[in-house]
Structures are given as C-alpha cells and as structure tokens.
Structure 1
C-alpha cells in the first residue's frame, strides 16, 4: 500500500507514519509525508497512491482545497483533524473516515479497517460523487443514482435521467462509501434499493431486480435470499 500523509506538524506526521507502519505491517509499501497542500498535490500529480491521510488545517491553508481537487481520484482519503465540526462536510465529499485529534493506534486502525473488503461501510453521509470531465470536477448527487455497474477499475454511474458517467473508483471502493440503501446485488452491480419495484425469478433460476423504470438488473444467487429478506419482498 502506498500512503501519502499531508500534515504540517512534524511530530504528528511522524506519529501517523509510525502507527501506520505498526498497523499495516508488510502491506505498507511506501510512505510519503508532505507538510503543505502544494507539495501534497504535486506528489499526487506525479505518483499513484492507495490512501491519503489529510489534515484540514495546514499553516492556515484549508485541506478542503486539496480534497475538492482530488475527490474524483481512485484512492481513498482519511481525514485526521481536530476540527470535528468539519466532519459532515468531509463525509459529503466521500472520505472513508474522519479521525479526530488526539487519536490513538486503535482509532487509526479502525479507520484503516474500512479499506478491507467486507468492512463496515462509511456512515453514509456522503452526498456527492465527483466525476472528472474536461479537466474539471463535476459533483453529482448520489440520490439521483439509479444503479452503478462495475467496469474493471472504473464504474459506470447510471442516473435517473438515463445519463451515464464514468467514475475513477472501482465498484468495491464505491460500495464502502455509499449509504445503506445502496445494495450490492451482484459482483458487477450496486442498486439504489428505493427504486426497486420487484424481485423476479426466471426459468433456470436466474434472479433479477426490476426497477421502477423497467430496468432489469441481475442478482447473484448468493445475494438473492438476503436481499429478499432485507427488502421485505
């Protein structure tokens, strides 16, 4: 795992780096520390990372300026900040977790744990997904989503107005961010369950979710029984 820490206080940056090594062990491949927004962004422009650990106040500069710039990138972001009143705004931009200062190893480990497949999803406060279009980032309200289809390392966002956008995060990554009414119904699909009209079983034991607009999406055999119970069908 490649880690970027953007933190202007050297003592805290060293502590984050040390605890990250203890928590991640051999999984930690590379750690870079930047003490300004500018140097952090410069690193992101030339190097790939898996996880950003970001402070929100760097020598008077706002971490949100960086967060808004990289919101559509394929890596995850964890905020580490004393400004807990900014947590809701941060979650709206799709951060994986908000770790308040002061913090200990257990709390940081809990945040890292959200990276694991099958981990507890975020608190569902994310409101937008950002898509990079023509050199700028466009925010889309997740409540306008109908479903998401996996497309390798990318995802197709299908909206209620029939438009489709490409997101740089994988389906697995998005699944950890979305609110509870977005359900993984298949290895390749996440659906907005508020838009499901009914469940269907075709000949040959093929399961599907029929949406209110008539869209037919496949449901895996392993997920069908759980979804039927959850949706009360």
Structure 2
C-alpha cells in the first residue's frame, strides 16, 4: 500500500499514521503526509497511490476542492473529518468511507479494511463519477451511465446519450462504490440492472444481456443464475 495523509493538524496526522502503520504492517510500502491542498494536489499528480486519507478543513481551505479531483483518480479516498454533515455529500462524490472525528483505532481500522477489500462497502449512494477532462474534472451523473467496461487498469463509462468516458479507477474499485443497481455480470462488465431488456440464452451455454439501447453484453457462465434471479 502507498498512502497519503492530508491533514493540517500535526498531532492528528501522526496519530493517523501510527494507526495506519499498525493496521497494514509489512504490506505498507510508503506513507506520506501533506498539510495543504496545494501540496496534496502536487503530490497526487507526481506519485502513484493506493489510498488517500483526507481531512475536509485544511487551514480554512475546503477539502472538497481536492476531493473532486481525488475521486477521479485510480486510488480510493477515505475522509477523516469533524464535519459529519458533509458525509452524505462525500459518499455521493464517491469516497470509500467517512470517518468522523474524534475517532478511535477500531473505526479507522474498519475504514482501512474496506480499502483492502474487493467487496461492496459503505452506503453505496454514489451520485457522480468524476472523470479527468483536459486538466479539469467533470462530474458524470450516475443516472446517465448505462454500463461500465473494464479496460485494463482503467474503465470505460458508456452513457445513455451514447457518449463514452474513460475513468482511472479499475472495475473492481468502481464495483465497491456503486449501488446494487449495478451488477457485475461478467469479469469485464458492470451493467445497470434497469437497462437490461432481455437475457438471451444461446447454444453452448452462451448468455447475453440485451440492453434497452440494443447493446449486447456477454454474461459470465457463473453469473447467469444469480443475474436471472435478480433481474426477474
């Protein structure tokens, strides 16, 4: 794990680092700390990361300015903040967890465990997927996304208006964040269940999901029975 802590209070940053080191042990490769938005943005732009632990108030600066950019990256983001009223908005933007201050090691461990898991976690109320567009970040409403295709370390978002956008997060990471309205029907596809028009069974145990827009998406053999029961 390569982790960045973004926290303006040195005492709290050291406490987070101590707890994080204790949790990950030998699997923690690098952990760094910055205390301003500018430093954090610069560090994120120049380094590969697995996880960012972000405070929302940094010497009066709004952490959401960084959050909007951070959620467009390949890593997961966990908020550690006293601003509990911002939790729902943070989840809607696509954070993995929101740890309210004051916190203990048990609550932080719970959040860190989610970062190391591939299972769906948290309230799954993502409303936007942030994508990078020519040195700026654009928020894509989740309601506009029909299906998502894995493209190596990246994903391709396919929209209702037939537009396609590239996202830096892997299919596995997006699967963790998205609500059950999106189903992993194949190793390379996440599909919005409401967009499935028909499930087609072909010879040779070949299964296909026909979407309302006419798109045909393969269904993994091990996924067919579960998908059919949920679709019906």
Give the TM-score normalised by the residue count of structure 1. Answer: 0.96
In the alignment, the residues of structure 2 paired with residue 184 and residue 43 of structure 1 have an alpha-carbon distance, to the nearest angstrom, of: 33
- 1:160 is displaced (CA, Å) by 0.9
CA gap 1:117/1:202 in 2 versus in 1, 3 angstroms:
farther
Residue 81 of structure 2 corresponds to 81
Give the TM-score normalised by the residue count of structure 2. Answer: 0.96
Q: Is the counterpart of residue 229 in structure 1 residue 209 in structure 2?
A: no
In the alignment, the residues of structure 2 paired with residue 25 and residue 224 of structure 1 have an alpha-carbon distance, to the nearest angstrom, of: 39
Partner of 2:184, secondary structure, is strand
Return 5+ residue gaps in structure 1 as ranges: none
In the alignment, the residues of structure 1 paired with residue 26 and residue 180 of structure 2 have an alpha-carbon distance, to the nearest angstrom, of: 32
In the alignment, the residues of structure 1 paired with residue 19 and residue 81 of structure 2 have an alpha-carbon distance, to the nearest angstrom, of: 16
- 1:74 is displaced (CA, Å) by 1.1
- 1:117 is displaced (CA, Å) by 4.2
In the alignment, the residues of structure 2 paired with residue 134 and residue 93 of structure 1 have an alpha-carbon distance, to the nearest angstrom, of: 20
Residue 168 of structure 1 corresponds to 168
Residue 202 of structure 1 corresponds to 202
- 1:205 is displaced (CA, Å) by 0.3
In the alignment, the residues of structure 1 paired with residue 22 and residue 132 of structure 2 have an alpha-carbon distance, to the nearest angstrom, of: 35
- Confirm or deny: 8 A CA contact 2:158 2:164 kept in the other structure: yes
In the alignment, the residues of structure 2 paired with residue 120 and residue 169 of structure 1 have an alpha-carbon distance, to the nearest angstrom, of: 15
In the alignment, the residues of structure 2 paired with residue 167 and residue 89 of structure 1 have an alpha-carbon distance, to the nearest angstrom, of: 20
Residue 7 of structure 2 corresponds to 7
- 1:119 is displaced (CA, Å) by 2.0
Return 5+ residue gaps in structure 2 as ranges: none
Residue 125 of structure 2 corresponds to 125
In the alignment, the residues of structure 2 paired with residue 195 and residue 231 of structure 1 have an alpha-carbon distance, to the nearest angstrom, of: 10
- Confirm or deny: 8 A CA contact 2:118 2:173 kept in the other structure: no
In the alignment, the residues of structure 2 paired with residue 58 and residue 135 of structure 1 have an alpha-carbon distance, to the nearest angstrom, of: 23
Residue-pair matches, total: 232
Q: Is the counterpart of residue 153 in structure 1 residue 153 in structure 2?
A: yes
Moved over 3 A (4+): none
Q: Is the counterpart of residue 188 in structure 1 residue 188 in structure 2?
A: yes
- Confirm or deny: 8 A CA contact 1:122 1:178 kept in the other structure: no
Residue 137 of structure 2 corresponds to 137
Deviations 1:165-184 (A, max 9, x none): 11111111111111110000
Deviations 1:43-89 (A, max 9, x none): 11221111000001111111111112333111110000011000111
- Confirm or deny: 8 A CA contact 2:51 2:115 kept in the other structure: no
- Confirm or deny: 8 A CA contact 1:121 1:175 kept in the other structure: no
- Confirm or deny: 8 A CA contact 1:79 1:99 kept in the other structure: yes
In the alignment, the residues of structure 1 paired with residue 133 and residue 35 of structure 2 have an alpha-carbon distance, to the nearest angstrom, of: 29
RMSD across aligned C-alpha pairs, in angstroms? Answer: 1.2
- Confirm or deny: 8 A CA contact 1:157 1:165 kept in the other structure: yes
- Confirm or deny: 8 A CA contact 1:113 1:119 kept in the other structure: no
